[in-house]
Amino acid sequence: MSTMLPYCFFGLHDTAYSEILSLWAVSDRKYGGLSFSTEDIGEVLAMAGASLLVYQLIIYRWVHTILGTVNSSRIASAVSILVLATYPFMTYLYGVQLSFALYSAAMMKSALAITATTGICLLQNNAVCQEQKGTANGISTTAMSFFKAIAPVCAGALFSWAQKRQDATFLPGDQVVFVMLNFVELLGLIFTFEPFLVLPAAQDQSN
């Protein structure tokens, strides 16, 4: 059940990110957003979804084969933190540069998120015997669903609070939003290491 914590934190992060991305992109630039229209952000999300489909069907199997279950989740979550850290700086870009940066980041973020979550899900199924898989999955999915349920509320409250501190000296405006998102992802990453994550002997040797 040690896989439940990273599973929950990754779920919380992914849902909060999905909520905040649209709010941030359509916000006016004076509030730290990108001044995108709803059509613009819709195209970004559609492209990210299409690239994710290709990634899952063609690329992920190779990632899992080369890196393994645990390492793929760790590397994906670590790189995801770096990608998300670039988002606040996109407000300095315009035109083609902005579109290229956001499209690329959104596609990478989607692929990294599914890699981290899938790795933990596979690890969870491999960590228990066949008779316990139903119970383990039920408990972890219930816990993860709770985290996903509170994510939109927390994300919306955080975003609203960030809008009121545009002139703050430390992490002004939306910078604090992405720092908090990265903090949640970092917690998920930390919980993929010992002593928080206990691996079965066979799994430990192969990863």
Distances 205 to 68, 125, 199 between C-alpha atoms, Å:
11, 17, 9
Tokens 């359509």 appear where? 26
Higher pLDDT, 139 or 90: 90
CA–CA gap between residue 136 and residue 121 (Å, rounded): 11
Are the CB atoms for 34 and 86 separated by under 8 Å?
Answer: no
CA–CA gap between residue 186 and residue 184 (Å, rounded): 5
Which residues are within 8 A (CB) of 123 and not within 5 positions of it... i.e. 6 or more apart? 3, 69, 70, 73, 199, 203
| Cis check: omega of the bond before 152, within 30 degrees of 0 | no
Interval 47-103: pLDDT, tens: 999 999 999 999 999 999 999 989 999 999 999 999 999 999 999 999 999 999 999
Which letter does DSSP use for residue 88 in this model?
A: G
Which residues are within 8 A (CB) of 135 and not within 5 positions of it... i.e. 6 or more apart? none
Distances 125 to 9, 107, 133, 165, 182 between C-alpha atoms, Å:
18, 27, 6, 44, 27
pLDDT of residue 200: 61
Tokens describing residue 86 = 């670039």
CA 143 to chain centre: 17
Higher pLDDT, 205 or 56: 56
pLDDT of residue 194: 83
Provide the residue ranges of all domains of the chain, joining segments of one domain with +: 4-196
Are the CB atoms for 121 and 192 separated by under 8 Å?
Answer: no
168: left (phi over 0), alpha (psi -120 to 50) or beta: beta
Tokens describing residue 102 = 């956001």
The domain 4-196 is classified under which CATH number: 1.20.140.10, 1.10.443.10, 1.20.1250.20, 1.10.357.10?
1.20.1250.20
> Rounded mean pLDDT of the chain?
89
Per-residue pLDDT band at 1 (split at 50, 70, 90): low
Per-residue pLDDT band at 126 (split at 50, 70, 90): confident
Are the CB atoms for 16 and 188 separated by under 8 Å?
Answer: no
Which residues are within 8 A (CB) of 42 and not within 5 positions of it... i.e. 6 or more apart? none
pLDDT of residue 32: 86
Are the CB atoms for 185 and 10 separated by under 8 Å?
Answer: yes
pLDDT of residue 205: 43
